[in-house]
């Protein structure tokens, strides 16, 4: 199983806005070129980030900016803005109809549900402790090192 690329795309978008937004108008086409995806995907991501209150997007002329300081945005905020966890809010989907006549099928929910919930909680706790500012600073350091070499 793999979490979709929506989270890493959303993070990439916000890092780009944080690093480039002060000196240039950050548009969906510019971001799409950096991410390596179709601008339609970026526009959808921008819409999700805007709906979550993480960015402001200028209509018509384009351009996006952070709606909060980078240290006020956590990786969990980004994840929750762009990932579709459905009505359950659960990271792990569960097959709907395990066979109740099979001893394993009858008990699998009892065995796994709590463990999967604990795993999701731990992941979300870790994400909440990392700010966009930290990611932006790491990206800037790497870019600075590459420009020196």
Is 132:14 a contact under the CB 8 Å cutoff? yes
| Fold (topology level) of 6-148 | Arc Repressor Mutant, subunit A (1.10.10)
**Residue with structure tokens 């099928």?**
105
pLDDT digits (tens, 9 = 90+) for 59-111: 776 789 999 999 999 999 999 999 877 666 777 777 888 999 999 999 999 99
Q: Which ranges of the chain does DSSP label H, i.e. alpha helix?
A: 6-20, 28-35, 39-51, 75-82, 103-128, 132-148
**Residue with structure tokens 């970026």?**
42
Look up the pTM and report it: 0.85
pLDDT digits (tens, 9 = 90+) for 3-57: 678 999 999 999 999 999 888 899 899 999 999 999 999 999 999 999 999 999 9
Q: Whose CA is closest to 35, among 50, 52, 14, 54?
A: 14
Is 25:63 a contact under the CB 8 Å cutoff? yes
Task: Work out the widest C-alpha separation in the chain, in whole angstroms.
Answer: 66
Q: Whose CA is closest to 16, among 31, 29, 1?
A: 31
């Amino acid at each position: 199983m793999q979490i979709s690329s929506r989270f890493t795309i959303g993070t990439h978008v916000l890092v780009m806005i944080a690093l480039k937004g002060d000196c240039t108008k950050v548009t969906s086409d510019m971001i799409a070129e950096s991410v390596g995806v179709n601008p339609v995907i970026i526009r959808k991501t921008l819409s999700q980030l805007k709906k979550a209150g993480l960015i402001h997007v200028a209509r018509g002329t384009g351009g996006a900016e952070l709606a909060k300081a980078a240290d006020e945005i956590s990786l969990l905020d980004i994840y929750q803005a762009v990932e579709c966890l459905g009505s359950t809010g659960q990271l792990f989907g569960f097959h709907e109809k395990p066979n109740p006549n099979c001893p394993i099928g009858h008990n699998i929910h009892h065995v796994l549900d709590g463990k999967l919930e604990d795993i999701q909680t731990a992941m979300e706790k870790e994400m909440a402790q990392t700010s966009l500012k930290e990611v932006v600073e790491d990206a800037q350091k790497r870019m600075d090192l590459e420009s020196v070499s």
